Structures are given as structure tokens and as C-alpha cells.
Amino acid sequence: MKLSLILSLTLSIAIIIIISYFTFNEETIESLKGIKFRYEFFITAIAFNFIYWMMWGIRLRVLSNSIDKKVQIGVWESTKIIIANLFLANITPSMAGGEPVRIYLLNKNGLSIGDSTAAVLGERLLDAIFLLLCVPFAFWILRNSIQTGLLKNALTLAIIAFIVGVILFVYAIKSPERVKSILIWFSNKLRRFSKKKESKHSVVKKISSEVDNFHNSMTFFVKDGKIAFLKAFILTGVFWAVGWVIPILILMGLGLELNEIPIIESCAAQVLLIIIVMIPTTPGSAGVTEGGIYGLYGVFIPGNITTVFMIVFRILTYYVGLIAGAIFQYRIFKSVASFSLESLKKEKRT
């Protein structure tokens, strides 16, 4: 965990410094002196960041409460779970580290491990569906704006990887037995190189159990949890829309008037940025995100504020989330480093 945190912060800060070095000059500094910063919009952006987490929490609450009617989690409790998950989510590729935290804390609130997993994987499925619907529009809106070959190629590869991931996700839901056979075959190949030897029967049993849990979790929303899934899908749209307001508020804080901000292009850029962030690259997509922000927004906002916008946006979303996540995780686990996948495994055995 410490290595991931250090690597994430190092990459993020390094890319910010590199971009600043190549974009800041005397002319840029002089133009920045003429900007009338409106800090009330930065404060509002932080408030919207919290609303963004709260909407995420409400969505998690809807999914988890629909699975087990006996266990009803409140809005504040689900929001705390979301904030606590931000620390690990922000220092792991694809935000994958946050999922075990959410599963663990839902289990602590009374849900079984299987039900907790269903709620968290349901979130992933909802995000995938919503973003797949948004991506074609986002790409079409920015098709003429993105002139850099490198950025176009990177976005194309990211979208292809994202679509392939969604297809595999759906395939895993539809064909659990086939997935079991593939994972067992792959596991047998890895066992040859592993120092820790487990019996073949134990490995097969474990894989079969996990795939069945995954399949049962997802089919629940298709059959018994349709209404809850629809509610959660609507909340998913609201959840992401609230997040898309944040960069607009930051641009207003940097002196632009609302009618000067290309709002549609900003929302499209956010969709493509999310796709980039969700592709497993660096811890917390550090460095990649900063480059993506600069490349996407640099084509339609004034050049003199692009780098400043990138820095402020990253501070108010990534760094604020990292700090808030560390505080809440410390309050819950009494130590930022105390949570691990081992704690989830022990909880599952009991």
C-alpha cells in the first residue's frame, strides 16, 4: 500500500511539474496575473465533490438494501463507506482497491459477503452500461477538436479496452461454467511457477465458489432486483452529472463566465477521461489522468489557464478525495494501513 501511495503521488506530481515546465513562460505568467480568481466557485466545487460522493453512497444504498430487505443501510452510513473507499481506490489501477473496502464495510453493516459483492459489482455494471451509452456521443462531440495523433490513438485504445472489458464482464455473467474452465486452466498453469502449492481440488473448489457467487449476484438484478437496478441506473446518471459540474465550477473560479465555457465539450471530455482512468495503467491512473486532462481540455479552453485548470481540478478531486479517504479509513479501521484483502478473507471464513 505504501509503495502504491508513493508511486501514485510521485507520478502525479512529476507529470504536473513536467507539463508546467513546458507550458509556463513569461507570457503565461503575465496573463495569469490578469485573471480575477473567484474562490467561492472553488469552494462550491468542493461541496459538489461531497455531493458526488453522497450520490454514489445513495446508489450503493439502493443496491444493497434491495438485496437484503432485513438489513437497511442509511444514507450517511453508505456515504461513509464511499468516502472510506476513496483512499485505496485512488492509489490502485482502475480504482479496483476501493471495491474490497466497500464489500468489507457492507459486510460489517450486516450484509453477507455474497450480497455485498453483488451490490459492489452491480455498481461496476451500471457504470459500464452508462458510460457505453455516453462514449459515442462524447467521441462525436470532440471528433474535430482532438487533433493530436497521440491523444486520438490513446483514446481509441482506451475505448477498445473498455468495450472488451465490458464484453468479458457480460460473458462471465452469461457463461459461468465456461469462465470456470478458463480460470481453472489458467490457475493450473500458474501453479507450476508458484512457491505456495495448493491442492488442485482446493483451487477448483475456490474458483467454482467465487464464479458462482459472481453469477448469482449479477442475475439477481436481472430477475428479482429489476426495479432497484433501474433506480440505481437513474442515480448513476445523476451521480456522474454532478461530477461533470465540478470542472465547470473550476473554470468559473478561473475567471470564465458561464456563457464562455463550452459545457457540452467539458462533459464529453469528462466521459473520455473516465474511460482513460478506468483502464488499468498506473496506481490511481496518476500521470495518465493529468496528461488526459491537459490534452482533452487544452483543445477548447484558453491556453493560458489549461495547466492551472489541470492542477486545480486534480487537487479538488484526486487529492481532496485521497485525504478524505485516509481520514475516514483511519476513523473506521484505526489505521490507514490496517485494511487488507486478508481482513476480508478472514471475515468470509467466519
Reported for 330-336, long-range contacts at CB under 8 A and 24+ positions apart, including other chains, are 331/84, 332/80, 332/84, 332/105, 336/87
User: What is the rounded CA–CA span in Å between residue 303 and residue 294?
Assistant: 10
pLDDT in tens, 260-272: 999 999 999 999 9
Report whether 313 contacts 128 (CB < 8 A).
no
User: What is the rounded CA–CA span in Å between residue 76 and residue 52?
Assistant: 13
Where residue 350 falls among pLDDT bands split at 50, 70, 90?
Answer: very low
User: What is the secondary structure of 120-183 as a DSSP string?
Assistant: HHHHHHHHHHHHHHHHHHHHHHTTTT---HHHHHHHHHHHHHHHHHHHHHHHHHH-HHHHHHHH
Residue of 211 and 118 predicted with greater confidence: 118
Sign of CA dihedral 124, 127, 132, 136: negative
pLDDT in tens, 142-165: 877 666 566 667 677 777 877 777
Mean pLDDT of 107-127: 86
Domain ranges within the chain, ordered by starting residue: 2-349
Where residue 321 falls among pLDDT bands split at 50, 70, 90?
Answer: very high
Mean pLDDT (the chain) is: 82
pLDDT in tens, 206-259: 666 666 766 776 777 777 778 888 999 999 999 999 999 999 999 999 999 999
Q: Name the most confidently modeled range: 49-63, 88-102, 112-126.
A: 49-63
Report whether 27 contacts 33 (CB < 8 A).
no
User: What is the rounded CA–CA span in Å between residue 101 and residue 79?
Assistant: 13
Report whether 314 contacts 39 (CB < 8 A).
no
pLDDT value for 348 = 46
Residue of 192 and 245 predicted with greater confidence: 245
Q: Indicate yes or no: pTM above 0.85.
A: no
User: What is the rounded CA–CA span in Å between residue 341 and residue 250?
Assistant: 37
SS3 of the chain: helix, strand, coil, percent, to 5: 80, 0, 20
